[in-house]
Chains A and B, each alone.
Chain A
Amino acid sequence: EAGVAQSPRYKIIEKRQSVAFWCNPISGHATLYWYQQILGQGPKLLIQFQNNGVVDDSQLPKDRFSAERLKGVDSTLKIQPAKLEDSAVYLCASSLERDQPQHFGDGTRLSIL
């Protein structure tokens, strides 16, 4: 089976600019997750979707971050405006259902200048 696809792989922007990441989960996976991984730390969940509905976004900085999964398949994560502390790898993962093992994409490495 094809894995979780993410793009772009790398992104460099200046602070206060906006950026968007795209994720295509494994076909048939109902649950989709976005994680933020800061250098030297483990991944931290930002938002979890079940089909096209949000299950958990308690750790998403909603003043600048937004995410959607309109048709219950692909998802985009946006940051506007970016801050220096947003420099991180943004990982997308998907699972068949909520309590099933999560499969991760390669991630997008974001650098803020």
Chain B
Amino acid sequence: AQRVTQPEKLLSVFKGAPVELKCNYSYSGSPELFWYVQYSRQRLQLLLRHISRESIKGFTADLNKGETSFHLKKPFAQEEDSAMYYCALLYNQGGKLIFGQGTELSVKP
């Protein structure tokens, strides 16, 4: 069955430290993965998608099919990165997204 797992509910780091938010997926087809972010009192918004291979706000994510992972990384965390982060899998290329439980990132000064 299709599943997205984010093992950490809360990740707390200091400003300037590297950050890695973990995401593992289970899917028998060809995966398309996304990271969504929700800042305090804002709506859920797309951060990046793996097919774009781009860096947004200093974040990158690489799809590792061997390890079925799509971890989100940033070398130097900023306080404004504090938010909820959701990893999501596009299922069957039909628009159906399966979300992980989310990881709350807290960046302390």
SS of A interface (majority) = loop
Interface string of B3-19 (1 = CB under 8 A from A): 01000010000000000
* List of A residues within 8 angstroms of B99 by Cβ: 42-44
Interface of B: prevailing SS:
strand
Minimum C-beta distance from A41 to chain B (A): 6
Task: Tell me, in angstroms, the Cα distance from A102 to B89 when the chains sit together.
Answer: 12
Q: Chain B: which residue is nearest A3 at the CB level?
A: B43
CB distance from A49 to the nearest CB of B (A): 10
Residues from chain B with Cβ under 8 Å of A44 in the complex: 99
Q: Do A102 and B97 have beta carbons less than 8 Å apart?
A: yes
* Cβ of A113 under 8 Å from chain B: no
**Is B96 an interface position by the 8 A CB rule?**
yes
In the bound complex, what is the Cα–Cα distance between A54 and B75 (angstroms)? 43
* A56 and B94 contact, Cβ closer than 8 Å, known pairs A41-B101, A42-B100, A44-B99: yes
Given contacts A91-B44, A101-B49, contact A55 B95 (CB under 8 A): yes
B83 CB–A CB distance under 8 Å: no
Please determine whether B94 and A106 come into contact, CB atoms closer than 8 angstroms: no
- Bound together, the chains give a CA A112 to CA B90 distance in angstroms of 31
Which residues on B are within 8 Å of A, measured CB to CB? Answer: 4, 9, 34, 43-46, 49, 86, 88, 90, 93-102
Interface residues of A (CB under 8 A from B): 3-4, 31, 33, 40-45, 48, 55-56, 91, 95, 97-107
